[in-house]
Amino acid sequence: MSVANFINTIPIGSAAPEATTEDTVKIKPHDGPQTAFLSCTADICIYGGAAGGGKTRGLLMDPLRYIGIPEFRAVIFRRTYPQITNPGGLWDESEMLYVHADGRPVKSHTTWTFPSGARISFKHMQHEKSKEEFQGAQIPFIGFDELTHFSRGQFFYMLSRNRSTCGVIPYVRGTCNPDANSWVKIFIAPWLDPKFPQPDGRVGKLDSGEIGYFSQLDGQFKWHSKETYERENIELAPEQRTIKTVTFIRSTVYDNVTLLQQNPQYLASLRALPLVEQQRFLHGNWDIVESGNMFRREWFKEISRKELPLRFRRLIRFWDFASTKPGEVERNRKEEDPDYTAGALLGLGYDNRYYFIDLVLEQMTPREIDELVLKTSLQDFLEFGANYEVWMEQEPGSNAEIAVEHIRQLLAGFYFEPLKATGSKIARAKPFSSEVQKGNVFIVMGGWSIDDFYAMATAFPNAEVHDDPIDAISGAYAAINAPPLKPMYRPMMAGARMAR
């Protein structure tokens, strides 16, 4: 439905409510990016790239076009619940719009119900496993406010829930500010990278709002021409298509006329930010970072799983357990985004090269971590068999010794050792960083969230970005170059890969 029809069908719909002579409220989008966002026909549209461009208001407006359909359901996500309910948050923003469409609020459920029976809900996915709460759901409209706060796994899992039986073609919308360390930057590279090889043979960036065509293969994005998309999807329903349409629409504070009129100091506030934040939030710079020179994506040698050696001199799964668990910390910044439990699988080949095979990255409770460690160890053993070792980082203190003994008992029968943490995180990461820079580290593509690893690794050491994966792979490198503390455990049964 076009924006014009959207406005004519519903007596609301804009960046700012505007009283009319008939004592009604007319809401319409600003000319420019906000109008383009509400006119977009792509399966996925990501809107923003700077602060103050009217992103959240546009996201809230979008599903209003379908509130006359009784079975229509929309869910808009923020990463945490407080981001929905805090003063000035998503809920307060919705109150400025939805009451004018006769919406009935149920704040305890963060849901709006409309006269037809249609519903728009606000949900959170604070932890990675939260996505599983939506298993079996059918949601015609899915929105992500601040998409860079979500993991790639969460986004694409919910993409599988984007289904419809109400007659509305399912679609996904997201807003974001620039984040050079986010998987989102990799996803929208065709619109950001001036050297991007487009599938039609061009080299350069797509225009804002220009449609791209993508699929995923072995965990990597693959871009297609329009002709390929039309040929492969011509007879498929939207939810059955393996190639989907996506676009990125840029906006800045200069596109939000209402904000600049009502709060002219907002622009001055953006100009007063430190350089890095100013470049991100005022100018929409996706490349600038505060720190992060120890790991670069181009330093890793990317291979497929089929290219791994048949045998390894040593093979170690190294665990760095979270110092906080979900819901445990209440009064610091980790309440919204606690540490991860990270388990890196690193192999040392007989060619003296290192093979970064897998990374487990989860935010879990202690009981779930136990199940994860045991399950992962069994899977590793069944695949690789001989020379498989499990190590963990041991922090100073008696509580850490108790934790080590707990894991030792959990993994009875496996070769297991703790590695005492010494020196700073940077110092521990430098030896592995050196191997990566020399081109001596091969990283296996597919099967795990490699983009999440790259995002965190290329930012390291940045205090605002999780370093748990770096702690895990640095520990694996240290362990694989340390002598076994007792004779190697060599099981008689070889793993599945050994039988090839």
Q: What's the pLDDT tens digit per position in 181-233?
A: 889 999 999 999 999 999 988 999 999 999 999 998 777 899 999 999 988 87
pLDDT band of residue 465 (cuts 50, 70, 90) is: confident
Last residue of some domain: 204, 238, 259? Answer: 259
Helix, strand, coil in percent for the chain, rounding step 5: 35, 20, 40
172 pLDDT above the threshold of 60? yes
Q: Number of folded domains in the chain?
A: 2
pLDDT band of residue 377 (cuts 50, 70, 90) is: very high
Residues 239 and 307 placed together within one structural domain of the fold = no
Residues 365 and 481 placed together within one structural domain of the fold = yes
Residues 9 and 119 placed together within one structural domain of the fold = yes
- 350 or 489, higher pLDDT: 350
In sequence order, what are the residues at sequence separation of 6 or more whose Cβ sits closer than 8 angstroms to the Cβ of residue 399? none
Within-domain flag for 282? no
CATH code for position 428: 3.30.420.280
- What's the confidence (pLDDT) of residue 252? 85
Residues 198 and 102 placed together within one structural domain of the fold = yes
- 90 or 334, higher pLDDT: 90
Quote the domain boundaries for residue 460. 297-499
- What's the confidence (pLDDT) of residue 266? 83
Residues 242 and 354 placed together within one structural domain of the fold = no
What DSSP assignment string belongs to 381-413?
A: HHHH-TTEEEEEEE-SSHHHHHHHHHHHHHTTT
Q: Which H/E stretch holds residue 267? A: helix 265-271
In degrees rounded to 5, what are phi and psi of residue 498? -70, -20
Question: Mean pLDDT over residues 288-317, rounded?
Answer: 87
For residues 153 and 128, what is the distance between their CA atoms, to the nearest angstrom? 8
Residues 233 and 136 placed together within one structural domain of the fold = yes
Q: What percentage of the chain exceeds 90 in pLDDT? A: 53
Last residue of some domain: 259, 286, 317? Answer: 259
- What's the confidence (pLDDT) of residue 103? 94
Question: Mean pLDDT over residues 55-76, rounded?
Answer: 94
Within-domain flag for 70? yes
Please tell me the least confidently modeled range out of 56-70, 227-241, 405-419.
227-241
Integer Rg of the chain from CA: 25
Within-domain flag for 491? yes
Residues 303 and 250 placed together within one structural domain of the fold = no
For residues 130 and 135, what is the distance between their CA atoms, to the nearest angstrom? 10
Residues 304 and 208 placed together within one structural domain of the fold = no
- What's the confidence (pLDDT) of residue 488? 55
In degrees rounded to 5, what are phi and psi of residue 283? -100, -5
CA 296 from chain center: how many Å?
Answer: 19
Last residue of some domain: 203, 238, 259? Answer: 259
- What's the confidence (pLDDT) of residue 119? 96
Within-domain flag for 445? yes
- Grouping H, G, I as helix, E, B as strand and the rest as coil, residue 76 is strand
CATH code for position 193: 3.40.50.300
Within-domain flag for 290? no
- What's the confidence (pLDDT) of residue 449? 73
In terms of pTM, does the model score above 0.75? no
Residues 356 and 221 placed together within one structural domain of the fold = no
Contact indicator for 386, 490 with CB cutoff of 8 Å: yes
Residues 323 and 250 placed together within one structural domain of the fold = no
Residues 140 and 85 placed together within one structural domain of the fold = yes
CA 430 from chain center: how many Å?
Answer: 27
Q: What's the pLDDT tens digit per position in 337-353?
A: 578 899 999 999 999 99
Residues 414 and 318 placed together within one structural domain of the fold = yes
* Residue 219 neighbours by CB distance under 10 Å: 15
